[in-house]
Structure 1
Amino acid sequence: MMSPPSDDLRAKLSQLATEDTFLNAYARRRARSATGSEWIGFCVAGETYALPIGDLREILKVPPITEVPRVPRFVLGVAPVRGMVVPILCMRRRLGFPPAPIGRSSRVLVCEVDGERYGLLVDAVSAVERLQEGQIERSPQLGGGAAAEFVAGIGRAGARLIILLDARAVVTFSSREAR
Protein backbone atom coordinates (compact mmCIF):
# COMPACT_ATOMS: atom_id res chain seq x y z
CA MET A 1 0.00 0.00 0.00
CA MET A 2 1.34 3.43 -0.96
CA SER A 3 1.69 6.11 1.65
CA PRO A 4 -0.20 9.37 1.05
CA PRO A 5 1.80 12.24 -0.47
CA SER A 6 3.52 14.51 2.01
CA ASP A 7 2.30 18.05 2.64
CA ASP A 8 5.44 19.35 0.92
CA LEU A 9 4.70 17.30 -2.21
CA ARG A 10 1.07 18.44 -2.20
CA ALA A 11 2.18 22.07 -1.96
CA LYS A 12 4.60 21.66 -4.89
CA LEU A 13 1.97 19.90 -7.03
CA SER A 14 -0.58 22.57 -6.17
CA GLN A 15 1.88 25.30 -7.15
CA LEU A 16 2.63 23.60 -10.47
CA ALA A 17 -1.05 23.23 -11.25
CA THR A 18 -1.65 26.87 -10.40
CA GLU A 19 1.28 28.12 -12.49
CA ASP A 20 0.29 25.88 -15.41
CA THR A 21 -3.32 27.05 -15.22
CA PHE A 22 -2.18 30.68 -15.07
CA LEU A 23 0.19 30.32 -18.03
CA ASN A 24 -2.46 28.58 -20.14
CA ALA A 25 -5.05 31.25 -19.31
CA TYR A 26 -2.50 33.98 -20.03
CA ALA A 27 -1.66 32.45 -23.43
CA ARG A 28 -5.37 32.19 -24.33
CA ARG A 29 -5.97 35.79 -23.25
CA ARG A 30 -3.04 37.05 -25.33
CA ALA A 31 -4.30 35.13 -28.37
CA ARG A 32 -7.76 36.70 -27.98
CA SER A 33 -6.36 40.18 -27.42
CA ALA A 34 -4.45 39.93 -30.70
CA THR A 35 -7.81 40.13 -32.47
CA GLY A 36 -9.47 42.58 -30.06
CA SER A 37 -9.44 43.68 -26.48
CA GLU A 38 -11.17 42.59 -23.30
CA TRP A 39 -12.71 44.94 -20.79
CA ILE A 40 -14.36 44.32 -17.43
CA GLY A 41 -17.77 45.97 -17.52
CA PHE A 42 -19.38 47.52 -14.46
CA CYS A 43 -22.24 49.82 -13.53
CA VAL A 44 -22.06 53.15 -11.74
CA ALA A 45 -25.18 55.29 -11.30
CA GLY A 46 -27.02 53.33 -14.00
CA GLU A 47 -24.33 53.75 -16.68
CA THR A 48 -22.05 51.05 -18.07
CA TYR A 49 -18.31 51.60 -17.85
CA ALA A 50 -15.35 49.31 -18.46
CA LEU A 51 -11.66 49.06 -17.62
CA PRO A 52 -9.01 47.05 -19.49
CA ILE A 53 -9.14 43.52 -18.12
CA GLY A 54 -5.34 43.45 -18.09
CA ASP A 55 -5.43 45.95 -15.20
CA LEU A 56 -7.84 43.79 -13.17
CA ARG A 57 -6.44 41.49 -10.48
CA GLU A 58 -9.63 40.34 -8.76
CA ILE A 59 -13.24 41.17 -7.94
CA LEU A 60 -14.30 41.20 -4.29
CA LYS A 61 -17.38 41.66 -2.20
CA VAL A 62 -16.96 44.95 -0.35
CA PRO A 63 -14.51 44.41 2.54
CA PRO A 64 -14.50 46.43 5.78
CA ILE A 65 -13.06 49.86 4.94
CA THR A 66 -11.03 51.97 7.39
CA GLU A 67 -11.36 55.72 6.82
CA VAL A 68 -8.19 57.78 6.40
CA PRO A 69 -8.19 61.52 7.22
CA ARG A 70 -7.35 64.29 4.75
CA VAL A 71 -7.70 62.28 1.55
CA PRO A 72 -9.73 63.23 -1.52
CA ARG A 73 -13.51 62.77 -1.13
CA PHE A 74 -13.56 59.85 -3.56
CA VAL A 75 -11.07 57.86 -1.44
CA LEU A 76 -13.24 55.97 1.03
CA GLY A 77 -10.25 54.66 2.97
CA VAL A 78 -8.18 51.49 2.97
CA ALA A 79 -8.98 47.80 3.23
CA PRO A 80 -6.96 44.62 3.71
CA VAL A 81 -6.74 42.57 0.51
CA ARG A 82 -4.68 39.38 0.62
CA GLY A 83 -2.30 40.75 3.23
CA MET A 84 -1.89 44.16 1.58
CA VAL A 85 -3.46 47.48 2.53
CA VAL A 86 -5.27 48.78 -0.56
CA PRO A 87 -6.86 52.24 -1.02
CA ILE A 88 -10.57 52.00 -1.90
CA LEU A 89 -11.89 54.60 -4.36
CA CYS A 90 -15.61 55.29 -4.75
CA MET A 91 -16.26 55.31 -8.50
CA ARG A 92 -19.54 57.19 -8.01
CA ARG A 93 -17.69 60.11 -6.44
CA ARG A 94 -14.73 59.80 -8.80
CA LEU A 95 -17.03 60.11 -11.80
CA GLY A 96 -18.93 63.05 -10.31
CA PHE A 97 -22.07 61.25 -9.09
CA PRO A 98 -23.47 61.50 -5.57
CA PRO A 99 -22.59 58.62 -3.26
CA ALA A 100 -25.11 55.84 -2.65
CA PRO A 101 -25.35 53.15 0.01
CA ILE A 102 -23.34 50.00 -0.61
CA GLY A 103 -25.76 47.38 -1.93
CA ARG A 104 -25.85 43.61 -2.32
CA SER A 105 -24.44 43.83 -5.85
CA SER A 106 -21.69 46.35 -4.97
CA ARG A 107 -18.20 45.05 -5.67
CA VAL A 108 -14.60 46.18 -5.42
CA LEU A 109 -12.50 45.80 -8.56
CA VAL A 110 -8.88 45.38 -7.49
CA CYS A 111 -6.74 46.88 -10.24
CA GLU A 112 -3.00 47.24 -10.59
CA VAL A 113 -1.49 50.37 -12.10
CA ASP A 114 2.28 50.92 -12.18
CA GLY A 115 2.81 48.15 -9.62
CA GLU A 116 0.33 49.61 -7.10
CA ARG A 117 -3.04 48.05 -6.27
CA TYR A 118 -6.24 50.03 -5.93
CA GLY A 119 -9.78 48.97 -5.08
CA LEU A 120 -12.55 50.59 -7.11
CA LEU A 121 -16.00 50.43 -5.50
CA VAL A 122 -18.68 49.99 -8.18
CA ASP A 123 -22.45 49.46 -8.01
CA ALA A 124 -22.27 46.13 -9.84
CA VAL A 125 -20.08 44.13 -12.20
CA SER A 126 -21.75 43.39 -15.52
CA ALA A 127 -19.61 41.23 -17.82
CA VAL A 128 -16.37 40.82 -19.69
CA GLU A 129 -16.73 42.80 -22.91
CA ARG A 130 -14.76 41.63 -25.93
CA LEU A 131 -14.38 44.51 -28.35
CA GLN A 132 -12.79 44.41 -31.77
CA GLU A 133 -10.73 47.38 -32.95
CA GLY A 134 -13.63 48.62 -35.12
CA GLN A 135 -15.97 48.66 -32.10
CA ILE A 136 -13.87 51.21 -30.20
CA GLU A 137 -14.07 54.89 -31.01
CA ARG A 138 -11.82 57.62 -29.73
CA SER A 139 -13.19 59.62 -26.87
CA PRO A 140 -15.31 62.51 -28.13
CA GLN A 141 -14.65 66.01 -26.82
CA LEU A 142 -16.56 65.94 -23.55
CA GLY A 143 -15.67 69.37 -22.23
CA GLY A 144 -14.14 69.91 -18.84
CA GLY A 145 -16.42 67.64 -16.83
CA ALA A 146 -15.06 65.78 -13.83
CA ALA A 147 -15.01 62.42 -15.61
CA ALA A 148 -13.89 63.56 -19.08
CA GLU A 149 -10.20 63.04 -18.30
CA PHE A 150 -10.82 59.39 -17.40
CA VAL A 151 -12.47 58.39 -20.69
CA ALA A 152 -10.19 56.40 -23.01
CA GLY A 153 -12.87 55.79 -25.63
CA ILE A 154 -16.37 54.56 -26.34
CA GLY A 155 -17.07 50.91 -27.06
CA ARG A 156 -20.00 49.68 -29.16
CA ALA A 157 -21.42 46.31 -28.16
CA GLY A 158 -24.43 45.90 -30.41
CA ALA A 159 -26.76 48.81 -29.67
CA ARG A 160 -25.10 49.48 -26.29
CA LEU A 161 -22.45 52.11 -25.70
CA ILE A 162 -19.81 51.39 -23.07
CA ILE A 163 -17.66 54.16 -21.64
CA LEU A 164 -14.09 52.85 -21.63
CA LEU A 165 -11.98 54.25 -18.82
CA ASP A 166 -8.23 54.75 -18.47
CA ALA A 167 -7.28 53.01 -15.20
CA ARG A 168 -4.15 55.15 -14.71
CA ALA A 169 -6.18 58.38 -15.00
CA VAL A 170 -8.83 57.06 -12.59
CA VAL A 171 -6.34 56.31 -9.80
CA THR A 172 -4.12 59.36 -10.32
CA PHE A 173 -5.05 62.51 -8.44
CA SER A 174 -3.47 65.79 -7.43
CA SER A 175 -2.97 67.31 -4.00
CA ARG A 176 -5.65 69.92 -4.76
CA GLU A 177 -8.22 67.11 -4.75
CA ALA A 178 -7.57 66.48 -1.04
CA ARG A 179 -10.39 67.27 1.40
Structure 2
Amino acid sequence: MSTSPGPGTRRLVRCVVGNETYCIDNDWLDSIQVVENLYPSRSADGSIGWIRRFDEKVPVFRLADQISSAHSRGASRQGVIMVLRKGEKLWALLVDKVTAASEVELDRMCPLPAVAGDTVRGHFPGVVVEEEGIMLYLAPDRVVPPEVSGVRSPAPHAASRRASHVRVAPRRIQVGLRRAAQQIITFTLVHETPMTSPVRFGVTAGQAVEIVSELPMIAVPQAPPFVVGLAKWRSLPIPVVDLGAWLGMTPAPYTPGCRLLLCRGTISGGGRDAGLLAVPAVDDIRKLDLPIEYRPWPEPVKWNSALALGIYRAERTMLVIPDLDAVLSFRNAVSSYTM
Protein backbone atom coordinates (compact mmCIF):
# COMPACT_ATOMS: atom_id res chain seq x y z
CA MET A 1 0.00 0.00 0.00
CA SER A 2 1.31 3.45 -0.90
CA THR A 3 2.41 5.70 1.95
CA SER A 4 2.18 8.87 -0.16
CA PRO A 5 -0.55 11.31 0.92
CA GLY A 6 -3.40 12.00 -1.45
CA PRO A 7 -4.04 15.39 -3.06
CA GLY A 8 -4.87 18.05 -0.47
CA THR A 9 -3.85 15.89 2.50
CA ARG A 10 -0.89 15.26 4.79
CA ARG A 11 0.02 11.94 6.33
CA LEU A 12 0.39 12.42 10.08
CA VAL A 13 1.65 10.19 12.87
CA ARG A 14 0.20 10.59 16.36
CA CYS A 15 2.34 10.25 19.47
CA VAL A 16 1.11 10.19 23.06
CA VAL A 17 2.83 11.88 26.02
CA GLY A 18 0.94 11.50 29.28
CA ASN A 19 -2.65 12.52 28.63
CA GLU A 20 -1.81 14.57 25.54
CA THR A 21 -1.60 13.53 21.90
CA TYR A 22 0.59 15.36 19.39
CA CYS A 23 1.09 14.75 15.69
CA ILE A 24 4.04 15.03 13.30
CA ASP A 25 4.36 14.75 9.56
CA ASN A 26 5.05 11.19 8.49
CA ASP A 27 7.86 12.48 6.23
CA TRP A 28 10.03 12.96 9.34
CA LEU A 29 9.71 9.35 10.47
CA ASP A 30 12.64 7.05 9.69
CA SER A 31 11.62 4.11 11.87
CA ILE A 32 10.13 3.08 15.20
CA GLN A 33 12.15 1.09 17.71
CA VAL A 34 11.35 -0.63 20.97
CA VAL A 35 12.64 0.98 24.15
CA GLU A 36 14.73 -2.11 24.93
CA ASN A 37 17.14 -0.88 22.22
CA LEU A 38 17.98 2.20 24.29
CA TYR A 39 21.43 2.54 25.84
CA PRO A 40 20.83 4.95 28.77
CA SER A 41 23.40 7.74 28.98
CA ARG A 42 22.64 11.27 30.12
CA SER A 43 24.30 13.97 28.00
CA ALA A 44 24.76 17.73 28.22
CA ASP A 45 22.57 18.20 25.13
CA GLY A 46 19.57 16.80 27.03
CA SER A 47 19.56 13.34 25.49
CA ILE A 48 18.80 10.39 27.76
CA GLY A 49 20.78 7.83 25.78
CA TRP A 50 21.29 6.47 22.31
CA ILE A 51 20.25 3.69 19.97
CA ARG A 52 22.10 2.11 17.11
CA ARG A 53 20.80 2.65 13.59
CA PHE A 54 22.97 0.63 11.21
CA ASP A 55 26.51 1.86 12.10
CA GLU A 56 25.41 5.16 13.64
CA LYS A 57 24.70 6.12 17.24
CA VAL A 58 21.42 8.05 17.30
CA PRO A 59 20.77 10.34 20.31
CA VAL A 60 17.44 9.80 22.06
CA PHE A 61 15.52 12.63 23.74
CA ARG A 62 12.46 12.28 25.94
CA LEU A 63 9.75 14.40 24.29
CA ALA A 64 8.16 15.28 27.65
CA ASP A 65 11.48 16.80 28.77
CA GLN A 66 12.01 18.73 25.55
CA ILE A 67 8.64 20.47 25.58
CA SER A 68 8.76 21.09 29.35
CA SER A 69 5.65 19.02 29.75
CA ALA A 70 4.11 18.73 33.19
CA HIS A 71 3.13 15.14 32.52
CA SER A 72 4.62 12.23 34.44
CA ARG A 73 7.91 11.38 32.77
CA GLY A 74 8.36 7.85 34.06
CA ALA A 75 11.44 5.73 33.57
CA SER A 76 13.59 5.71 30.44
CA ARG A 77 12.76 2.04 29.94
CA GLN A 78 9.09 2.77 29.26
CA GLY A 79 7.53 3.86 25.98
CA VAL A 80 8.48 3.67 22.31
CA ILE A 81 11.22 5.38 20.30
CA MET A 82 10.52 7.38 17.14
CA VAL A 83 13.62 7.70 14.94
CA LEU A 84 13.50 10.89 12.87
CA ARG A 85 15.51 11.98 9.87
CA LYS A 86 16.36 15.23 8.13
CA GLY A 87 18.82 14.69 5.30
CA GLU A 88 21.78 12.87 6.82
CA LYS A 89 20.84 13.81 10.39
CA LEU A 90 19.20 11.23 12.66
CA TRP A 91 17.76 11.72 16.15
CA ALA A 92 15.03 10.04 18.18
CA LEU A 93 12.21 10.92 20.56
CA LEU A 94 10.97 8.74 23.40
CA VAL A 95 7.18 8.90 23.77
CA ASP A 96 4.57 6.82 25.56
CA LYS A 97 2.82 5.52 22.45
CA VAL A 98 2.74 5.90 18.66
CA THR A 99 -0.29 5.25 16.46
CA ALA A 100 -0.38 4.37 12.78
CA ALA A 101 -0.13 7.20 10.26
CA SER A 102 -3.35 8.53 8.75
CA GLU A 103 -4.23 11.13 6.16
CA VAL A 104 -5.54 14.53 7.31
CA GLU A 105 -7.04 17.14 4.99
CA LEU A 106 -4.96 20.31 4.71
CA ASP A 107 -8.03 22.40 5.49
CA ARG A 108 -7.99 20.87 8.98
CA MET A 109 -4.49 22.23 9.65
CA CYS A 110 -4.36 25.76 11.09
CA PRO A 111 -1.51 27.98 12.32
CA LEU A 112 -1.14 28.21 16.09
CA PRO A 113 -2.86 31.41 17.32
CA ALA A 114 -0.28 34.14 17.94
CA VAL A 115 -0.90 34.45 21.67
CA ALA A 116 -0.37 30.71 22.22
CA GLY A 117 3.08 30.38 20.65
CA ASP A 118 5.60 31.18 17.95
CA THR A 119 4.87 29.36 14.68
CA VAL A 120 8.31 30.23 13.28
CA ARG A 121 10.58 29.09 16.14
CA GLY A 122 8.28 27.34 18.60
CA HIS A 123 7.79 23.62 19.04
CA PHE A 124 4.21 23.73 17.74
CA PRO A 125 3.74 25.63 14.45
CA GLY A 126 0.14 24.59 14.06
CA VAL A 127 -3.01 22.84 15.18
CA VAL A 128 -4.97 19.98 13.62
CA VAL A 129 -8.74 20.32 14.02
CA GLU A 130 -10.63 17.04 14.12
CA GLU A 131 -14.29 16.18 14.61
CA GLU A 132 -13.78 15.18 18.24
CA GLY A 133 -11.32 17.91 19.21
CA ILE A 134 -7.97 19.52 18.39
CA MET A 135 -4.36 18.37 18.46
CA LEU A 136 -1.04 20.22 18.42
CA TYR A 137 1.17 19.78 15.34
CA LEU A 138 4.77 19.20 16.43
CA ALA A 139 7.93 20.35 14.64
CA PRO A 140 10.35 17.56 15.67
CA ASP A 141 13.42 19.45 14.43
CA ARG A 142 12.72 22.27 16.90
CA VAL A 143 12.49 20.19 20.08
CA VAL A 144 16.16 19.15 19.97
CA PRO A 145 19.34 21.25 19.80
CA PRO A 146 20.02 22.61 16.26
CA GLU A 147 23.34 20.79 16.04
CA VAL A 148 21.39 17.54 16.44
CA SER A 149 18.70 18.20 13.82
CA GLY A 150 20.91 20.30 11.54
CA VAL A 151 18.51 23.26 11.66
CA ARG A 152 20.29 26.54 10.92
CA SER A 153 17.19 28.69 10.50
CA PRO A 154 13.56 27.73 11.17
CA ALA A 155 11.72 26.47 8.11
CA PRO A 156 7.95 26.78 7.64
CA HIS A 157 5.98 23.65 8.45
CA ALA A 158 2.81 22.45 6.78
CA ALA A 159 0.43 23.84 9.40
CA SER A 160 1.98 27.32 9.39
CA ARG A 161 1.75 27.43 5.59
CA ARG A 162 -2.01 26.90 5.78
CA ALA A 163 -2.54 30.53 6.84
CA SER A 164 -4.46 31.43 3.69
CA HIS A 165 -7.08 28.79 4.53
CA VAL A 166 -7.96 30.28 7.95
CA ARG A 167 -10.78 32.78 7.85
CA VAL A 168 -10.70 35.75 10.20
CA ALA A 169 -14.17 34.84 11.44
CA PRO A 170 -17.25 32.97 10.22
CA ARG A 171 -19.27 35.26 7.98
CA ARG A 172 -22.51 34.69 9.89
CA ILE A 173 -21.22 36.53 12.96
CA GLN A 174 -20.93 39.73 10.89
CA VAL A 175 -24.72 40.12 10.90
CA GLY A 176 -26.01 42.97 13.03
CA LEU A 177 -22.68 44.70 13.64
CA ARG A 178 -24.18 48.13 13.08
CA ARG A 179 -26.75 47.55 15.80
CA ALA A 180 -24.16 45.84 18.02
CA ALA A 181 -21.93 48.91 17.85
CA GLN A 182 -24.57 50.73 19.90
CA GLN A 183 -24.33 48.26 22.77
CA ILE A 184 -21.73 47.10 25.29
CA ILE A 185 -21.45 43.76 27.08
CA THR A 186 -20.22 43.98 30.67
CA PHE A 187 -19.37 41.07 32.93
CA THR A 188 -17.51 40.04 36.07
CA LEU A 189 -14.96 37.26 36.52
CA VAL A 190 -14.90 34.48 39.08
CA HIS A 191 -11.44 35.14 40.54
CA GLU A 192 -9.50 32.55 42.54
CA THR A 193 -9.33 35.12 45.32
CA PRO A 194 -12.03 37.82 45.35
CA MET A 195 -10.89 41.30 44.38
CA THR A 196 -10.81 43.84 47.20
CA SER A 197 -13.23 46.04 45.21
CA PRO A 198 -15.79 44.96 42.58
CA VAL A 199 -14.56 45.11 38.98
CA ARG A 200 -16.56 44.77 35.78
CA PHE A 201 -15.14 44.27 32.31
CA GLY A 202 -16.58 45.45 29.03
CA VAL A 203 -16.43 44.68 25.31
CA THR A 204 -18.61 46.00 22.52
CA ALA A 205 -21.51 43.80 21.50
CA GLY A 206 -19.82 43.51 18.11
CA GLN A 207 -16.78 41.93 19.77
CA ALA A 208 -18.85 39.45 21.79
CA VAL A 209 -19.50 36.42 19.60
CA GLU A 210 -21.04 33.75 21.82
CA ILE A 211 -21.29 32.45 25.39
CA VAL A 212 -20.54 28.74 25.83
CA SER A 213 -20.02 26.42 28.77
CA GLU A 214 -18.26 23.38 27.32
CA LEU A 215 -15.65 23.20 24.55
CA PRO A 216 -13.03 20.55 23.71
CA MET A 217 -9.76 21.95 25.07
CA ILE A 218 -6.05 21.09 25.15
CA ALA A 219 -3.07 22.53 27.01
CA VAL A 220 -0.25 24.25 25.10
CA PRO A 221 3.24 23.62 26.53
CA GLN A 222 5.39 26.76 26.83
CA ALA A 223 2.42 29.09 26.30
CA PRO A 224 2.33 32.28 28.42
CA PRO A 225 0.98 31.64 31.94
CA PHE A 226 -2.28 33.46 31.22
CA VAL A 227 -3.09 31.17 28.25
CA VAL A 228 -5.18 28.35 29.71
CA GLY A 229 -5.12 26.35 26.48
CA LEU A 230 -6.76 26.03 23.09
CA ALA A 231 -10.44 25.27 22.59
CA LYS A 232 -12.21 24.01 19.48
CA TRP A 233 -15.10 26.20 18.33
CA ARG A 234 -16.78 25.70 14.94
CA SER A 235 -13.70 24.01 13.48
CA LEU A 236 -11.39 26.78 14.69
CA PRO A 237 -8.68 26.68 17.39
CA ILE A 238 -9.44 29.46 19.89
CA PRO A 239 -6.98 30.53 22.64
CA VAL A 240 -8.51 30.50 26.12
CA VAL A 241 -7.12 33.50 28.01
CA ASP A 242 -7.32 34.13 31.76
CA LEU A 243 -8.19 37.82 31.55
CA GLY A 244 -7.48 38.44 35.22
CA ALA A 245 -3.98 36.95 35.00
CA TRP A 246 -3.30 38.81 31.74
CA LEU A 247 -4.05 42.14 33.41
CA GLY A 248 -2.00 41.27 36.49
CA MET A 249 -5.04 40.87 38.72
CA THR A 250 -5.96 37.82 40.76
CA PRO A 251 -6.33 34.96 38.23
CA ALA A 252 -9.77 33.92 37.03
CA PRO A 253 -8.94 30.55 35.44
CA TYR A 254 -11.00 28.03 33.54
CA THR A 255 -12.80 25.44 35.66
CA PRO A 256 -14.95 22.59 34.30
CA GLY A 257 -18.46 23.83 33.58
CA CYS A 258 -17.63 27.54 33.79
CA ARG A 259 -18.96 29.91 31.15
CA LEU A 260 -16.67 31.25 28.44
CA LEU A 261 -17.22 34.46 26.49
CA LEU A 262 -15.94 34.23 22.92
CA CYS A 263 -14.63 37.60 21.73
CA ARG A 264 -12.80 39.00 18.73
CA GLY A 265 -10.41 41.89 18.38
CA THR A 266 -11.04 45.07 16.43
CA ILE A 267 -8.33 44.37 13.86
CA SER A 268 -8.17 41.54 11.36
CA GLY A 269 -6.26 38.48 12.44
CA GLY A 270 -5.04 38.29 8.85
CA GLY A 271 -4.10 34.89 7.58
CA ARG A 272 -2.36 33.94 10.84
CA ASP A 273 -5.34 32.94 12.94
CA ALA A 274 -9.05 33.48 13.47
CA GLY A 275 -8.68 36.64 15.54
CA LEU A 276 -10.84 35.19 18.33
CA LEU A 277 -10.27 34.36 21.98
CA ALA A 278 -12.30 32.83 24.80
CA VAL A 279 -12.46 34.40 28.27
CA PRO A 280 -13.27 31.81 30.97
CA ALA A 281 -14.99 32.23 34.33
CA VAL A 282 -17.33 35.01 33.19
CA ASP A 283 -20.32 35.84 35.38
CA ASP A 284 -23.14 38.39 35.77
CA ILE A 285 -23.26 39.23 32.05
CA ARG A 286 -25.22 42.35 31.09
CA LYS A 287 -26.00 44.05 27.77
CA LEU A 288 -26.26 47.85 27.96
CA ASP A 289 -27.41 50.33 25.34
CA LEU A 290 -24.98 53.17 24.61
CA PRO A 291 -24.37 55.83 25.66
CA ILE A 292 -23.94 55.12 29.38
CA GLU A 293 -22.86 57.47 32.14
CA TYR A 294 -19.20 57.09 33.04
CA ARG A 295 -16.13 59.03 34.11
CA PRO A 296 -12.41 58.17 34.28
CA TRP A 297 -11.31 56.12 37.26
CA PRO A 298 -9.75 58.66 39.65
CA GLU A 299 -7.09 56.52 41.37
CA PRO A 300 -4.04 54.46 40.33
CA VAL A 301 -4.58 50.70 40.13
CA LYS A 302 -2.30 47.92 41.36
CA TRP A 303 -2.41 45.89 38.15
CA ASN A 304 -1.11 46.54 34.62
CA SER A 305 -3.32 49.39 33.42
CA ALA A 306 -1.31 49.62 30.17
CA LEU A 307 -3.15 46.50 28.99
CA ALA A 308 -6.53 48.23 29.21
CA LEU A 309 -8.00 50.62 26.66
CA GLY A 310 -9.75 52.46 29.48
CA ILE A 311 -10.61 52.33 33.18
CA TYR A 312 -13.82 54.05 34.22
CA ARG A 313 -16.34 54.42 36.99
CA ALA A 314 -19.71 53.27 35.66
CA GLU A 315 -22.75 51.75 37.31
CA ARG A 316 -21.15 52.57 40.70
CA THR A 317 -18.15 50.33 40.10
CA MET A 318 -14.89 50.06 38.17
CA LEU A 319 -15.35 49.25 34.48
CA VAL A 320 -12.26 47.96 32.63
CA ILE A 321 -12.13 47.84 28.84
CA PRO A 322 -9.41 45.26 28.06
CA ASP A 323 -7.23 45.64 24.98
CA LEU A 324 -8.15 42.43 23.18
CA ASP A 325 -5.94 43.27 20.22
CA ALA A 326 -2.94 43.35 22.57
CA VAL A 327 -3.86 39.86 23.75
CA LEU A 328 -4.33 38.45 20.26
CA SER A 329 -1.07 39.91 18.94
CA PHE A 330 0.91 39.12 22.10
CA ARG A 331 3.74 37.13 20.52
CA ASN A 332 4.13 39.54 17.59
CA ALA A 333 3.85 42.87 19.39
CA VAL A 334 5.30 42.32 22.86
CA SER A 335 9.01 41.58 23.27
CA SER A 336 8.80 40.81 26.98
CA TYR A 337 6.06 40.37 29.56
CA THR A 338 6.01 40.96 33.27
CA MET A 339 3.04 40.16 35.48
Q: If the length of structure 2 is used for normalisation, what is the TM-score? A: 0.38
Q: CA contact under 8 A between 2:40 and 2:76: conserved in structure 1?
A: no
Map of 2:41 onto structure 1? 67
**Does residue 91 in structure 1 map to residue 63 in structure 2?**
yes
Q: Note the alpha carbon deviations across 1:110-132, whole angstroms, 9 max, x for none.
A: 01024211111001113323210
Trace 1:124-143 onto structure 2 (pairs within 5 A): 124-143=97-116
Q: Which structure 1 residue ranges, 4+ long, deviate > 3 Å from structure 2?
A: 142-145
Map of 2:23 onto structure 1? 50
- Give the distance between the partners of 1:137 and 1:70, measured in 2 at CA: 35
How far 1:40 sits from its partner (Å)? 0.8
Q: If the length of structure 1 is used for normalisation, what is the TM-score? A: 0.69
How far 1:160 sits from its partner (Å)? 2.6
Query: Which structure has the higher relative contact order (CA within 8 Å, separation 6+)?
Result: 1
- Give the distance between the partners of 2:144 and 2:127, measured in 1 at CA: 19
- Give the distance between the partners of 1:170 and 1:135, measured in 2 at CA: 23
Map of 1:169 onto structure 2? 142
**Please, which runs of 5 or more residues in structure 1 have no aligned partner?**
1-24, 175-179
> Matched residue pairs, number?
142
Q: CA contact under 8 A between 2:64 and 2:95: conserved in structure 1?
A: yes
- Give the distance between the partners of 1:54 and 1:44, measured in 2 at CA: 20
Q: Note the alpha carbon deviations across 1:86-128, whole angstroms, 9 max, x for none.
A: 0001001011125222466x11000102421111100111332
Q: CA contact under 8 A between 2:38 and 2:49: conserved in structure 1?
A: no
**Please, which runs of 5 or more residues in structure 2 have no aligned partner?**
148-339
Q: What is the one-letter code of the residue matched to 1:110?
A: V
**What is the percentage of aligned positions where both structures have the same residue?**
16
- Give the distance between the partners of 1:127 and 1:36, measured in 2 at CA: 16
The verdict on how the C-alpha distance between 1:83 and 1:136 changes in structure 2, with shifts beyond 3 A counting, is same
- Give the distance between the partners of 1:168 and 1:29, measured in 2 at CA: 22
Q: Secondary structure at the match of 1:168?
A: coil
How big is the alpha-carbon RMSD for the aligned residues of Structure 1 and Structure 2?
Answer: 2.4
Trace 1:1-179 onto structure 2 (pairs within 5 A): 28-30=2-4, 32-62=5-35, 63-72=37-46, 75-97=47-69, 99-102=73-76, 106-143=79-116, 149-173=122-146
Q: CA contact under 8 A between 1:90 and 1:121: conserved in structure 2?
A: yes
